Structure 1
Amino acid sequence: MNTAEPLPLYSIDSAPKERIRFAIVLLPNFTLTAFSGFVDMLRLSADEGDYSKPVRCSWSVVGDTLAPVRASCGIQITPWQTFAEAEPFDYLVVVGGLLHSGPQANEETLQFIRGAARTNATLVGICTGVFALMRAGVLEDHRICVSWFHYWDFVERFPAVNADALVADRLFVIDRRRITCSGGRASIDVAAAILLRHFEHATVQKALRILLVGEMQKGNAPQPHPPGLAPATHPKVKRAILVMEQHVGRTLPLEELACKLDLSPRQLERLFKAETGRSPQAFAKQVRLRTAAWLLTSSDRTVADIASSCGFSDASHLGREFRKQFGVPPVAFREQRAGTPDAGAAALDETFPGRVDVY
């Protein structure tokens, strides 16, 4: 596999001779945060003062038609230009979102991505936009960053992908002229990293301060995710734990979990005992309890709501299991740790000393 290479770096003492041009493709049910965070970094870095003029860089939303594209939150964005009308660009940014709510990138979009790959443009996949880049066949021999939440979806849809090339523990990956980003707030960070290749640091830092972000996170910063999990070196066990996290709202039967991993239930049980010392069912319960502990200390949701979200039949069921694990009922746990940073994670360290996040 080729090693990642940096994009061309301009001198911080010189302004770019031409504007850096971005074309942005929004996929159906795209995540608004990922789009707005990225484009606001462009807007705030493009000009001085509060004018937001596209002086240093320009951006345009393009689509196969001018029909509005609906975000996952319901807001609709109308493309400014069709693919046929799109002006030349330096970066093509594909923003995705929900995977299971209707059609994704159509064939016209995939053809547009392939055409961009044949130019000198850099392709950027944000959130599940990376799925579209993969479907277009433009990520071969590149490292690929995906959100921990969509890791298994990616593996399931693209089983031939090299597991060593898939990165689910970083915010974003820059590999030559392919940039992939986990999404969410990380879209701000990846935009900042791109702009720092062309503009002086003060220009980008100004934009980050206006967005109340402060310092950007580097690509190798870890993706934030619910409480960490015990070490698991076997790839099948790692994937099983990711499936558990993605289905934290219900108890997956052992047979269904094993089927997703192309294993027999007996093989899966043997692997789990060897790697974690616990059965898959016991480990899944720990995942659900850990997530409940995290939600109790990081949100104002009711115990009943958390119980439902974490796969327990009701608040009483969660209370019984929670007391067994942590020695106190959920309400007392929340009160004891109110205002304590990372209280949920700290509780897990006390209960499972020496744990390490899986990834």
Structure 2
Amino acid sequence: MHRVGYLLQDGFQIMAVATQAVFEYANMVAGETFYQVENYSLAGNEVRSSLGLRVETRVPTARTQVDTWIVTGVGDPLSFPASDEEQAFLKKAAARARRVAAICTGGFVLAEAGLLEGRRATTHWYFAREMQKRFPDIQVEDDRIYIVDGPIWTSAGMTAGLDLALAIVEKDLGSDAMRSVAHKLVMYQRRSGGQSQHSEILDLSPKSDRIQNALNYARKNLSKELTVDELAESVNLSPRQFSRVFTEETGQSPAKAIEGLRLEAARLMIEQSRHPLEVIARETGFRDRRHMREVFMRGFGVPPQAIRRDVREAK
């Protein structure tokens, strides 16, 4: 049996506790109680979430055996720093546990305890710069869903905790079990750790159905050239009218937006497939591998090979 201990503090985010469903369904898939999940706090008794929900917790003792500690985040980690007691506890707990994970701003608790020193880590994008400023010895990567650095796991904000929990299941029970859990949880896809916290479609946020439909058409046909004329025709607008409305609603030209979609799609294929880079470039509409590399350098500051290498090292 693998014991998972959630360390809660007042003001914790409910979304972090929702990740416990991943371990519940992993037990169903395994056909046994592989994971035993418990909620802990140093004070014990009831702990109140940021929304007011109260959760009963236990006080960990020197005899408490936990294989994986998961530290939950709070809404504002700058206003609720980890106490000296929490920091001391985590230092001892990390030495005994198989791994220690943090969801969302729970990464600040690990940082305050010194567990992220000299390591790669991520957190909610909104607080990433502040983490880097306060803890310069941490390599903060603000555009990652989750990061595994040895026995220390950190995730981005909110729903990224589900991806981290699924990755733990994959590590413990294998890819087939992980996919079965994700399917039972009705998750559209399980995101890899190297995937961006940001979505190009969400960033564009078009106001009208026509521009949204044009973007959907583009995403389904990235291997094609996708001229303005073709996009305009797909939503029954003239090219001139389409370009004007598109720019007004998204703040970008159609060409710039399509490049962003190609970049996002190519990155996802690199992370989740073993296709050669030449194939990925062709499938996502780049002229060739060299052109894709140029766009990656401009958009991410690293070549495609570096992203593929990071994903392989994280597994």
Q: Name the TM tier (shorter chain).
A: 0.5 to 0.7
Partner of 2:124: 147
**Are the structure 2 counterparts of residues 199 and 344 from structure 1 closer, same or farther at C-alpha, using a change threshold of 3 Å?**
farther
How far apart are the structure 2 equivalents of 1:171 and 1:226? 15
Partner of 1:33: 15
How far apart are the structure 2 equivalents of 1:345 and 1:91? 49
How far apart are the structure 2 equivalents of 1:120 and 1:207? 24
TM-score, normalising length: structure 2: 0.65
How far apart are the structure 2 equivalents of 1:76 and 1:94? 17
Partner of 2:304: none
The one-letter code sitting in structure 1 at the alignment partner of 2:103 is: I
**1:212-251 correspondence runs (5 A):** 212-224=186-198
Greater CA drift, 178-187 or 196-205:
196-205
**1:156-235 correspondence runs (5 A):** 156-158=133-135, 160-162=136-138, 165-224=139-198
Is the contact between residue 146 and residue 154 of structure 2 (CA under 8 Å) also seen in structure 1?
Answer: yes
The one-letter code sitting in structure 2 at the alignment partner of 1:45 is: A
Tell me if 1:105 matches 2:82.
Answer: yes
Q: Identify the structure with bigger relative contact order (alpha carbons < 8 Å, sequence gap 6+).
A: 1
Partner of 2:293: none
The one-letter code sitting in structure 2 at the alignment partner of 1:161 is: D
- Uncovered stretches (5+) of structure 2, i.e. residues with no partner: 217-245, 261-297, 302-315
Deviation at 1:154, TM superposition (A): 1.2
Which stretches of structure 1, 4 residues or longer, exceed 6 Å deviation after superposition?
342-346
**Are the structure 2 counterparts of residues 357 and 334 from structure 1 closer, same or farther at C-alpha, using a change threshold of 3 Å?**
farther
Partner of 1:92: 69
- Uncovered stretches (5+) of structure 1, i.e. residues with no partner: 1-18, 229-290, 298-332
Deviation at 1:94, TM superposition (A): 0.1
Deviation at 1:111, TM superposition (A): 1.5
Q: Percent identity?
A: 18
Deviation at 1:352, TM superposition (A): 8.1
The one-letter code sitting in structure 2 at the alignment partner of 1:216 is: R
**Are the structure 2 counterparts of residues 28 and 202 from structure 1 closer, same or farther at C-alpha, using a change threshold of 3 Å?**
same
How far apart are the structure 1 equivalents of 2:247 and 2:56? 42
Q: What secondary structure is seen at the aligned counterpart in 1 of 2:45?
A: coil
1:97-151: CA deviations, max 9, x gaps?
A: 2116853422222121111122243110110000000000111221111222111
1:308-335: CA deviations, max 9, x gaps?
A: xxxxxxxxxxxxxxxxxxxxxxxxx535
1:267-305: CA deviations, max 9, x gaps?
A: xxxxxxxxxxxxxxxxxxxxxxxx7x63xx3xxxxxxxx
Is the contact between residue 69 and residue 101 of structure 2 (CA under 8 Å) also seen in structure 1?
Answer: yes
How far apart are the structure 1 equivalents of 2:194 and 2:82? 28
Deviation at 1:219, TM superposition (A): 0.4
Is the contact between residue 77 and residue 105 of structure 2 (CA under 8 Å) also seen in structure 1?
Answer: no
Is the contact between residue 83 and residue 112 of structure 1 (CA under 8 Å) also seen in structure 2?
Answer: no
Structure with higher helix content: 2
Counting matched residue pairs gives: 233
Q: What secondary structure is seen at the aligned counterpart in 1 of 2:109?
A: helix
Q: What secondary structure is seen at the aligned counterpart in 2 of 1:108?
A: helix
How far apart are the structure 1 equivalents of 2:163 and 2:149? 16
